[in-house]
Structure 1
C-alpha cells in the first residue's frame, strides 16, 4: 500500500495534468444529483476511518503520510473520497482548493470541522513538490486576478499553462510582437551586393588655370624669338594691347597672345645674325 498518488503528467514538460478524469466527472455528477444528507466527520473520526482502511489492506497505520492519503474529504463534489484519489483523478480541484485555503488561513484561524479537514488535505498535497509548485502558481494567478479586478488592467493577468506559463498577458504580447517583427525583417529581401564593376565616373567640367598677380607671365627665350617667322610690318606700341594682371582666369591661348604682343617688334627685313657677346638692336617706332 503506497501513500504517494499516481500523478498524471504531461509527456513534454512533466507538469501535472489538472483536468478531471472521466471517473471524477462521474462521481461529481452523482454527488450533485444525490439527495441523501451528508454528515461530516470530525477529525478524530476521519483518522479512525483511515486507519481501519489501512489495516484492511495490510498497511502501516503508524505512517502519517499513509494515514493522510486514506483520509476522506468532508465537503464538496468529492465528499467521501480519499485525498489520494482526489490527487489522482482531479488535480486541478485539489490545487484550487488548497490555494484558496492557504489564502483563507491568513485571516481565519478557526478550528472547525471543515477547516481541520482542509488543513489535512493541504498538508498531504503540499508534501509533493509538483503539487506545491502548482499551488504556488495558482495563488499567484489568483492574486493577479484580484489586482486586475481592482485596477482594471487585464494585461497583467498571468498565463497558467504552456511555454509562456507565469508570464503576464502584456509580457506575452510583447514577446509575440518581437517575434513578429523579427519575422517581418527576415522576410524583407536582402540588400543587393555592390557590383564589382567600377562605376563610370563623370568627368568634371574643365576649369581654366587661375593666375594671380604674384605670378609673373612666362617670357620667351631668345632662341624662341629667333625661331619666329619674320613679321613684314612692325606693330606700334599703341596697337599692342597691354597685359593686365588680375584674378580673372585667362586661357592658355589668351595668355600666349598677350605675351607675344608684349615682346619687342622684330626688325623688318632679313634676320640679323648676332655674334657672341653682341646684343640685338631694338628699334622704336617714331611717333607722328
Structure 2
C-alpha cells in the first residue's frame, strides 16, 4: 500500500489548522504588514478560512515561497514551536538530493576532506570494505541498496520516485567511506569522489561485468557527474600528474586499491607497512607500465628521497656543522704547531 507523503501544501494547512481563532487573526495581521512584494492585502485574507489563506499564499508565492512566508510569519508572532515542526515536516519536501558543496574563503570549491570525513576515516577500518581489501561479496546487491535508499527517503517524507533523491540516500559499498551516502561523500570529500570516478571509468574500459561493487560505483558516478563542480574536479585530475603530485594517484590494484600512493607509503598500520615492504621486493617481477609497477616506482623514489635527506642532514645539519668546526680547529692547530716547529728548526 502506498504511503501518504507529506507535501508542502499539506504541511502548511496542518500548521495553520493548529492556530486558534485569535492566533489565525494575529497571523493574518502580521501577513498584511509584510513589506516584501508581492503584498497581501487586508481584503484578500479578511473573513477567510485557513484553507483559503493557504491557497492564496501558494498561488501568490508558489509552494516553496509560501513555506518561507509562513515560517517567517509564525516566528514573528512567537509561534516558534509550530514553526520548527513545520520546518521539520517540510525539510524532505524541499530536499531534491542535491549536495551542498563546501567553499573556501575565496569562494572556490573545497575539494579536500572535511573534518567530519577525517574523523570518520580515523574511527572506521577503511580497508575491510569491498574494493578496498575485502571480498566483492561484502557489497550489497544494487536492488538492496536502492530499497534501503527508498526506505530512508520515505522515512523523511520524500518522493521515492525522485531518482536523484534516491541516489543521494544510496550508501557506498566500498572504501574508506563505506556506509556513508553518496550525498554525504560529495559534501565531505570531492577529491576522493573524483578519483573513484576516474578509476571506475578506466575499469569500465576493460570490463562490463555487473558485480554489486561495480553497480554501486556506476550509481555513484551517475549521481556525481550530474554536478559541474564534480565534473571540473574529474577533468583536472585526468591531466597528467606532475612528479610532486604522483602520491595523489590511487594505488589502483590489490587490497588497498582505493588508497592513494602517499597514504599507502606513509601509513603506520603494520599490515600496510608489511605490504609496502612486500612491494619493494617485487621490482624485478612486476609487469611494466602496470599499476603495481607505478606503485613500486613511487615507493622506491620515496625511499631514495628519504636516504638523500638523511645524507644531507648528516652533511649539512646542525651536528655536521659542529663537526666541521671541530675539524677546522684541529687542522688550524696542527698547522700552527707545524709552523712553530719549523721556525724553531731554523
TM-score, normalisation: structure 2:
0.39
TM-score, normalisation: structure 1:
0.47
Q: Give 1 or 2: higher helix fraction.
A: 2
